[in-house]
Structure 1
Amino acid sequence: MKTYLFYDVETSGLNPAFDQILTFACIRTDLFLKEISRELITIKLRRDIIPSPHAFITHCLTQKELESGITEYPAAKRIHLLFNTPGTISLGYNSLGFDDEFLRFLFYRNLLDPYAHQYANQCSRMDLLPVTTLFKVFCDHVLEWPHLTDGRTSLKLELLSQKNAFMTSGRAHEAMNDVEAVIELARIFSRQKDIWEYALAFFNKTKDSLRINSMEKGYRVG
Protein backbone atom coordinates (compact mmCIF):
# COMPACT_ATOMS: atom_id res chain seq x y z
CA MET A 1 0.00 0.00 0.00
CA LYS A 2 1.32 3.43 -0.94
CA THR A 3 1.56 5.94 1.91
CA TYR A 4 3.01 9.39 2.48
CA LEU A 5 5.58 9.89 5.23
CA PHE A 6 5.67 13.59 6.06
CA TYR A 7 8.75 14.39 8.12
CA ASP A 8 10.97 17.13 9.50
CA VAL A 9 14.27 17.26 11.36
CA GLU A 10 15.90 19.76 13.69
CA THR A 11 19.68 19.69 13.71
CA SER A 12 22.76 20.90 15.57
CA GLY A 13 23.79 23.04 12.58
CA LEU A 14 23.68 23.32 8.80
CA ASN A 15 26.48 20.97 7.72
CA PRO A 16 25.31 17.35 7.29
CA ALA A 17 28.90 16.07 7.47
CA PHE A 18 29.78 17.76 10.77
CA ASP A 19 26.37 18.21 12.42
CA GLN A 20 23.66 15.76 13.44
CA ILE A 21 19.90 15.34 13.64
CA LEU A 22 18.59 16.15 17.13
CA THR A 23 14.87 15.63 16.67
CA PHE A 24 13.00 13.71 13.99
CA ALA A 25 9.22 13.86 13.61
CA CYS A 26 6.99 12.14 11.09
CA ILE A 27 3.34 11.51 10.34
CA ARG A 28 2.32 8.71 8.00
CA THR A 29 -0.86 9.28 5.99
CA ASP A 30 -2.74 7.49 3.26
CA LEU A 31 -2.86 9.00 -0.23
CA PHE A 32 -5.94 11.01 0.83
CA LEU A 33 -3.82 12.64 3.57
CA LYS A 34 -5.63 10.94 6.45
CA GLU A 35 -3.30 10.30 9.38
CA ILE A 36 -2.30 6.70 10.07
CA SER A 37 0.42 7.13 12.69
CA ARG A 38 2.98 9.59 14.01
CA GLU A 39 6.35 9.36 15.71
CA LEU A 40 8.78 11.73 17.43
CA ILE A 41 12.40 10.77 18.13
CA THR A 42 14.85 12.83 20.18
CA ILE A 43 18.54 12.00 19.74
CA LYS A 44 21.27 12.69 22.28
CA LEU A 45 23.94 15.16 21.20
CA ARG A 46 27.03 13.23 20.15
CA ARG A 47 30.22 13.98 22.08
CA ASP A 48 32.11 14.86 18.88
CA ILE A 49 29.61 17.54 17.82
CA ILE A 50 30.14 21.26 18.41
CA PRO A 51 26.62 22.64 17.95
CA SER A 52 25.79 25.95 16.33
CA PRO A 53 24.38 28.58 18.73
CA HIS A 54 22.20 29.89 15.91
CA ALA A 55 20.63 26.44 15.46
CA PHE A 56 19.65 26.30 19.13
CA ILE A 57 18.27 29.84 19.02
CA THR A 58 16.11 28.72 16.09
CA HIS A 59 14.68 25.43 17.37
CA CYS A 60 14.93 26.21 21.13
CA LEU A 61 15.84 22.65 22.14
CA THR A 62 17.24 22.41 25.66
CA GLN A 63 20.00 20.26 27.11
CA LYS A 64 17.41 18.52 29.30
CA GLU A 65 15.31 17.57 26.26
CA LEU A 66 18.34 16.13 24.46
CA GLU A 67 19.49 14.17 27.52
CA SER A 68 16.11 12.41 27.55
CA GLY A 69 16.68 11.16 24.00
CA ILE A 70 18.24 7.97 22.65
CA THR A 71 21.66 7.50 21.10
CA GLU A 72 22.13 7.96 17.37
CA TYR A 73 22.46 4.32 16.25
CA PRO A 74 19.05 3.02 17.44
CA ALA A 75 17.47 6.25 16.21
CA ALA A 76 19.04 5.76 12.77
CA LYS A 77 17.79 2.16 12.61
CA ARG A 78 14.23 3.23 13.49
CA ILE A 79 14.19 6.13 11.01
CA HIS A 80 15.65 3.91 8.28
CA LEU A 81 12.88 1.37 8.88
CA LEU A 82 10.21 4.07 8.63
CA PHE A 83 11.58 5.37 5.33
CA ASN A 84 12.05 1.93 3.84
CA THR A 85 8.61 0.57 4.65
CA PRO A 86 7.41 -0.68 1.24
CA GLY A 87 5.39 1.89 -0.69
CA THR A 88 6.56 4.89 1.36
CA ILE A 89 6.66 8.30 -0.35
CA SER A 90 8.76 10.49 1.96
CA LEU A 91 8.35 14.25 1.78
CA GLY A 92 8.82 17.45 3.70
CA TYR A 93 9.31 21.16 3.05
CA ASN A 94 12.66 21.79 1.36
CA SER A 95 13.38 18.18 2.32
CA LEU A 96 15.36 17.42 -0.85
CA GLY A 97 17.62 20.41 -0.22
CA PHE A 98 18.18 19.93 3.52
CA ASP A 99 16.50 17.13 5.51
CA ASP A 100 17.16 14.29 3.08
CA GLU A 101 20.87 15.08 2.94
CA PHE A 102 21.08 14.86 6.74
CA LEU A 103 19.29 11.51 6.56
CA ARG A 104 21.75 10.14 4.01
CA PHE A 105 24.70 11.10 6.23
CA LEU A 106 22.91 9.63 9.26
CA PHE A 107 22.30 6.32 7.49
CA TYR A 108 25.81 6.10 6.01
CA ARG A 109 27.46 6.94 9.34
CA ASN A 110 25.52 4.11 10.99
CA LEU A 111 26.21 1.52 8.25
CA LEU A 112 22.72 1.65 6.74
CA ASP A 113 21.91 1.99 3.04
CA PRO A 114 21.71 5.77 2.46
CA TYR A 115 19.82 5.56 -0.84
CA ALA A 116 17.35 2.66 -0.59
CA HIS A 117 14.48 4.94 0.49
CA GLN A 118 14.76 6.75 -2.83
CA TYR A 119 14.04 3.81 -5.12
CA ALA A 120 13.77 0.36 -3.48
CA ASN A 121 10.57 -1.43 -2.37
CA GLN A 122 8.40 1.06 -4.32
CA CYS A 123 9.70 3.88 -2.12
CA SER A 124 10.30 7.39 -3.46
CA ARG A 125 10.79 11.03 -2.43
CA MET A 126 8.96 14.31 -2.89
CA ASP A 127 9.35 17.90 -1.72
CA LEU A 128 6.47 20.29 -1.09
CA LEU A 129 8.55 23.47 -1.51
CA PRO A 130 8.67 23.35 -5.36
CA VAL A 131 4.99 22.36 -5.34
CA THR A 132 4.28 25.50 -3.30
CA THR A 133 6.21 27.56 -5.86
CA LEU A 134 4.09 26.06 -8.64
CA PHE A 135 0.88 26.97 -6.83
CA LYS A 136 2.12 30.51 -6.18
CA VAL A 137 2.73 31.02 -9.90
CA PHE A 138 -0.31 29.27 -11.38
CA CYS A 139 -2.94 28.95 -8.62
CA ASP A 140 -2.20 31.62 -6.05
CA HIS A 141 -5.81 32.07 -4.87
CA VAL A 142 -5.60 28.93 -2.70
CA LEU A 143 -3.49 30.63 0.00
CA GLU A 144 -2.87 33.94 1.68
CA TRP A 145 0.75 34.68 0.80
CA PRO A 146 2.98 36.44 3.36
CA HIS A 147 5.18 39.33 2.27
CA LEU A 148 8.51 40.56 3.55
CA THR A 149 9.15 44.19 4.47
CA ASP A 150 10.49 44.87 0.97
CA GLY A 151 7.26 43.60 -0.61
CA ARG A 152 8.56 40.26 -1.86
CA THR A 153 6.46 37.14 -1.31
CA SER A 154 7.89 34.70 1.22
CA LEU A 155 7.52 30.93 0.94
CA LYS A 156 8.85 30.25 4.45
CA LEU A 157 6.76 27.56 6.10
CA GLU A 158 6.62 29.46 9.39
CA LEU A 159 5.15 32.56 7.71
CA LEU A 160 2.73 30.56 5.54
CA SER A 161 1.50 28.78 8.66
CA GLN A 162 0.95 32.06 10.53
CA LYS A 163 -0.69 33.83 7.59
CA ASN A 164 -3.15 30.98 6.94
CA ALA A 165 -3.74 30.02 10.59
CA PHE A 166 -2.74 26.38 10.18
CA MET A 167 -3.86 24.16 13.05
CA THR A 168 -0.65 22.87 14.64
CA SER A 169 0.29 21.66 18.11
CA GLY A 170 3.54 23.49 18.87
CA ARG A 171 5.89 26.32 18.03
CA ALA A 172 7.55 27.05 14.70
CA HIS A 173 10.78 25.08 14.09
CA GLU A 174 9.54 22.35 16.39
CA ALA A 175 9.77 19.19 14.29
CA MET A 176 6.23 17.83 14.83
CA ASN A 177 4.70 21.29 14.48
CA ASP A 178 6.38 21.73 11.10
CA VAL A 179 5.20 18.30 9.94
CA GLU A 180 1.61 19.22 10.83
CA ALA A 181 1.98 22.51 8.93
CA VAL A 182 3.24 20.71 5.81
CA ILE A 183 0.25 18.34 5.91
CA GLU A 184 -2.12 21.31 6.23
CA LEU A 185 -0.45 22.83 3.18
CA ALA A 186 -0.74 19.57 1.22
CA ARG A 187 -4.43 19.26 2.08
CA ILE A 188 -5.11 22.76 0.74
CA PHE A 189 -3.22 22.03 -2.48
CA SER A 190 -4.86 18.62 -2.97
CA ARG A 191 -8.29 20.28 -3.24
CA GLN A 192 -7.11 21.61 -6.61
CA LYS A 193 -6.96 18.08 -7.97
CA ASP A 194 -5.68 18.74 -11.50
CA ILE A 195 -2.72 20.94 -10.60
CA TRP A 196 -1.94 18.80 -7.52
CA GLU A 197 -1.67 15.63 -9.59
CA TYR A 198 0.29 17.51 -12.26
CA ALA A 199 2.78 18.66 -9.61
CA LEU A 200 3.14 15.18 -8.10
CA ALA A 201 4.04 13.76 -11.50
CA PHE A 202 7.28 15.78 -11.46
CA PHE A 203 8.53 13.38 -8.76
CA ASN A 204 7.66 10.26 -10.76
CA LYS A 205 10.42 9.57 -13.29
CA THR A 206 8.21 7.48 -15.57
CA LYS A 207 5.38 10.03 -15.71
CA ASP A 208 7.77 12.95 -16.00
CA SER A 209 9.69 11.32 -18.88
CA LEU A 210 6.47 10.53 -20.74
CA ARG A 211 5.32 14.11 -20.32
CA ILE A 212 8.61 15.51 -21.60
CA ASN A 213 8.70 13.14 -24.57
CA SER A 214 5.13 14.02 -25.53
CA MET A 215 5.92 17.73 -25.76
CA GLU A 216 6.11 19.22 -29.21
CA LYS A 217 9.73 19.73 -30.14
CA GLY A 218 10.68 22.99 -31.79
CA TYR A 219 13.87 24.11 -33.46
CA ARG A 220 15.24 27.59 -33.80
CA VAL A 221 17.79 28.54 -36.44
CA GLY A 222 19.80 31.75 -36.32
Structure 2
Amino acid sequence: MSFLFYDFETTGADPRCDRPIQFAALRTNEALEPIAPPITLYATLSPEVLPHPQAVLITGILPQTSANAGGTPEAEFAARIHREMMVPDTCAVGFNSLRFDAELMRFMFWRNLRDPYAHEWKNGNSRWDVLDAARAFRLLRPDGIFWPTDEAGKPTLRLTALTEANGISHDN
Protein backbone atom coordinates (compact mmCIF):
# COMPACT_ATOMS: atom_id res chain seq x y z
CA MET A 1 0.00 0.00 0.00
CA SER A 2 1.08 3.56 -0.65
CA PHE A 3 -0.28 6.84 0.63
CA LEU A 4 -0.81 9.71 -1.80
CA PHE A 5 -0.99 12.92 0.23
CA TYR A 6 -2.63 15.53 -1.97
CA ASP A 7 -4.20 18.96 -2.08
CA PHE A 8 -5.87 21.19 -4.65
CA GLU A 9 -5.84 24.96 -5.02
CA THR A 10 -8.94 26.22 -6.78
CA THR A 11 -10.68 29.22 -8.28
CA GLY A 12 -13.22 29.30 -5.44
CA ALA A 13 -14.99 27.44 -2.64
CA ASP A 14 -17.72 25.60 -4.57
CA PRO A 15 -16.44 22.20 -5.77
CA ARG A 16 -19.35 21.88 -8.22
CA CYS A 17 -18.69 25.12 -10.08
CA ASP A 18 -15.14 26.22 -9.40
CA ARG A 19 -12.10 24.76 -11.11
CA PRO A 20 -8.86 23.29 -9.84
CA ILE A 21 -5.85 25.40 -10.72
CA GLN A 22 -3.08 23.52 -8.88
CA PHE A 23 -2.59 19.94 -7.68
CA ALA A 24 0.23 18.91 -5.36
CA ALA A 25 0.92 15.39 -4.12
CA LEU A 26 3.51 13.21 -2.46
CA ARG A 27 3.46 9.40 -2.53
CA THR A 28 4.86 7.55 0.49
CA ASN A 29 5.10 3.98 1.68
CA GLU A 30 3.44 2.73 4.85
CA ALA A 31 6.37 4.07 6.90
CA LEU A 32 5.63 7.54 5.42
CA GLU A 33 8.91 7.55 3.49
CA PRO A 34 8.65 9.25 0.08
CA ILE A 35 8.78 6.70 -2.74
CA ALA A 36 8.34 9.08 -5.67
CA PRO A 37 9.23 12.70 -6.37
CA PRO A 38 6.69 15.31 -5.28
CA ILE A 39 4.13 16.27 -7.91
CA THR A 40 3.01 19.82 -8.63
CA LEU A 41 0.69 20.36 -11.58
CA TYR A 42 -1.02 23.49 -12.83
CA ALA A 43 -4.13 23.75 -14.97
CA THR A 44 -4.73 26.57 -17.39
CA LEU A 45 -8.19 28.03 -17.12
CA SER A 46 -10.65 28.40 -19.97
CA PRO A 47 -11.22 32.06 -20.86
CA GLU A 48 -14.74 32.00 -19.38
CA VAL A 49 -13.48 30.90 -15.94
CA LEU A 50 -12.60 33.74 -13.58
CA PRO A 51 -11.15 32.96 -10.16
CA HIS A 52 -12.95 34.40 -7.17
CA PRO A 53 -10.87 37.33 -5.81
CA GLN A 54 -10.77 35.72 -2.35
CA ALA A 55 -9.35 32.52 -3.87
CA VAL A 56 -6.57 34.51 -5.53
CA LEU A 57 -5.75 36.21 -2.22
CA ILE A 58 -5.61 32.85 -0.41
CA THR A 59 -3.67 30.86 -3.01
CA GLY A 60 -1.64 33.62 -4.64
CA ILE A 61 -2.28 31.87 -7.96
CA LEU A 62 -3.45 33.99 -10.88
CA PRO A 63 -4.49 32.48 -14.22
CA GLN A 64 -1.25 33.91 -15.63
CA THR A 65 0.74 32.17 -12.87
CA SER A 66 -0.69 28.83 -13.90
CA ALA A 67 0.03 29.39 -17.59
CA ASN A 68 3.59 30.56 -16.87
CA ALA A 69 4.21 27.52 -14.63
CA GLY A 70 3.61 25.13 -17.51
CA GLY A 71 -0.09 24.66 -16.88
CA THR A 72 -2.01 22.29 -19.11
CA PRO A 73 -5.64 22.29 -20.25
CA GLU A 74 -7.98 20.72 -17.71
CA ALA A 75 -8.41 17.52 -19.77
CA GLU A 76 -4.65 16.77 -19.58
CA PHE A 77 -4.51 17.91 -15.94
CA ALA A 78 -7.38 15.54 -15.06
CA ALA A 79 -5.82 12.64 -16.98
CA ARG A 80 -2.50 12.99 -15.12
CA ILE A 81 -4.23 13.15 -11.72
CA HIS A 82 -6.47 10.20 -12.63
CA ARG A 83 -3.37 8.10 -13.47
CA GLU A 84 -1.82 8.93 -10.08
CA MET A 85 -5.02 8.16 -8.21
CA MET A 86 -5.52 4.86 -10.06
CA VAL A 87 -2.18 3.35 -9.01
CA PRO A 88 -3.21 0.06 -7.33
CA ASP A 89 -3.36 -0.01 -3.51
CA THR A 90 -3.29 3.78 -3.18
CA CYS A 91 -4.80 5.43 -0.12
CA ALA A 92 -5.52 9.04 -1.12
CA VAL A 93 -4.98 11.26 1.93
CA GLY A 94 -5.94 14.90 2.38
CA PHE A 95 -7.09 17.46 4.92
CA ASN A 96 -10.80 18.22 4.56
CA SER A 97 -10.52 16.16 1.40
CA LEU A 98 -13.76 14.19 1.72
CA ARG A 99 -15.83 17.36 1.91
CA PHE A 100 -13.99 19.44 -0.67
CA ASP A 101 -11.03 18.04 -2.63
CA ALA A 102 -12.60 14.65 -3.42
CA GLU A 103 -15.83 16.30 -4.54
CA LEU A 104 -13.90 18.80 -6.68
CA MET A 105 -11.92 15.93 -8.19
CA ARG A 106 -15.07 13.91 -8.99
CA PHE A 107 -16.61 16.89 -10.81
CA MET A 108 -13.34 17.45 -12.69
CA PHE A 109 -13.15 13.77 -13.71
CA TRP A 110 -16.81 13.82 -14.79
CA ARG A 111 -16.33 16.97 -16.91
CA ASN A 112 -13.33 15.33 -18.57
CA LEU A 113 -14.93 11.93 -19.24
CA ARG A 114 -13.09 9.99 -16.53
CA ASP A 115 -14.78 7.64 -14.08
CA PRO A 116 -15.42 9.94 -11.10
CA TYR A 117 -15.49 7.17 -8.48
CA ALA A 118 -13.13 4.35 -9.52
CA HIS A 119 -10.07 5.95 -7.93
CA GLU A 120 -11.78 5.67 -4.52
CA TRP A 121 -12.27 1.89 -4.50
CA LYS A 122 -10.93 0.08 -7.58
CA ASN A 123 -7.63 -1.86 -7.43
CA GLY A 124 -7.70 -1.92 -3.63
CA ASN A 125 -7.69 1.88 -3.42
CA SER A 126 -9.10 3.85 -0.51
CA ARG A 127 -9.20 7.37 0.88
CA TRP A 128 -8.70 9.05 4.23
CA ASP A 129 -9.44 12.54 5.51
CA VAL A 130 -6.92 13.60 8.17
CA LEU A 131 -9.35 16.30 9.39
CA ASP A 132 -11.56 13.55 10.81
CA ALA A 133 -8.53 12.06 12.59
CA ALA A 134 -7.58 15.50 13.97
CA ARG A 135 -11.09 15.89 15.39
CA ALA A 136 -10.81 12.51 17.10
CA PHE A 137 -7.29 13.21 18.43
CA ARG A 138 -8.40 16.55 19.86
CA LEU A 139 -11.28 14.93 21.73
CA LEU A 140 -9.74 11.61 22.76
CA ARG A 141 -5.98 12.25 23.05
CA PRO A 142 -5.32 16.00 23.17
CA ASP A 143 -1.83 15.73 24.69
CA GLY A 144 1.20 16.09 22.43
CA ILE A 145 -0.36 18.47 19.91
CA PHE A 146 -0.88 22.20 20.37
CA TRP A 147 -4.52 22.98 19.57
CA PRO A 148 -4.87 26.59 18.34
CA THR A 149 -7.78 28.92 18.93
CA ASP A 150 -9.26 31.56 16.64
CA GLU A 151 -9.65 35.29 17.34
CA ALA A 152 -12.76 34.60 19.44
CA GLY A 153 -10.89 32.07 21.58
CA LYS A 154 -12.70 29.06 20.08
CA PRO A 155 -10.71 25.95 19.11
CA THR A 156 -9.92 25.78 15.40
CA LEU A 157 -8.83 22.89 13.23
CA ARG A 158 -7.82 24.99 10.24
CA LEU A 159 -4.76 23.39 8.70
CA THR A 160 -2.76 26.63 8.58
CA ALA A 161 -3.47 27.29 12.27
CA LEU A 162 -2.59 23.70 13.26
CA THR A 163 0.69 23.69 11.36
CA GLU A 164 1.69 27.12 12.66
CA ALA A 165 0.88 26.20 16.28
CA ASN A 166 2.94 23.03 15.99
CA GLY A 167 5.96 24.50 14.17
CA ILE A 168 5.30 22.69 10.88
CA SER A 169 6.11 24.40 7.59
CA HIS A 170 3.02 25.08 5.49
CA ASP A 171 4.46 26.12 2.13
CA ASN A 172 2.98 25.55 -1.32
Normalised TM-score (structure 2): 0.94
**How far, CA to CA, are the matches of 1:151 and 1:17 in structure 2?**
33
Percent of aligned pairs sharing the same letter: 34
Contact 2:16–2:103, Cα closer than 8 Å, also in 1: no
- Tell me which residue corresponds to 2:147: 145
* Bigger CA radius of gyration: 1
- Tell me which residue corresponds to 1:87: 89
Deviation at 1:150, TM superposition (A): 2.1
Specify the SS of the correspondent of 1:147. coil
| Unaligned residue ranges in structure 1 (runs of 5+) | 175-222
**How far, CA to CA, are the matches of 1:60 and 1:18 in structure 2?**
20
| Unaligned residue ranges in structure 2 (runs of 5+) | none
- Tell me which residue corresponds to 2:39: 39
Equivalent position amino acid for 1:27 in 2: L
Deviation at 1:161, TM superposition (A): 0.8
Number of paired residues? 169
Deviation at 1:36, TM superposition (A): 1.3
Normalised TM-score (structure 1): 0.73
Aligned ranges 1:62-73 → 2 under 5 Å: 62-68=62-68, 69-73=71-75
**How far, CA to CA, are the matches of 1:53 and 1:25 in structure 2?**
21
- Tell me which residue corresponds to 2:10: 11
RMSD: 1.1
Specify the SS of the correspondent of 1:47. coil
Specify the SS of the correspondent of 2:143. helix
Equivalent position amino acid for 1:19 in 2: D
Q: Which moved more, 1:29-38 or 1:108-117?
A: 29-38
Contact 1:18–1:49, Cα closer than 8 Å, also in 2: no
**How far, CA to CA, are the matches of 2:153 and 2:14 in structure 1?**
31
List per-residue Cα deviations over 1:137-189 (Å, max 9, x = no partner). Answer: 11111201111222211111001111111145x2xxx3xxxxxxxxxxxxxxx
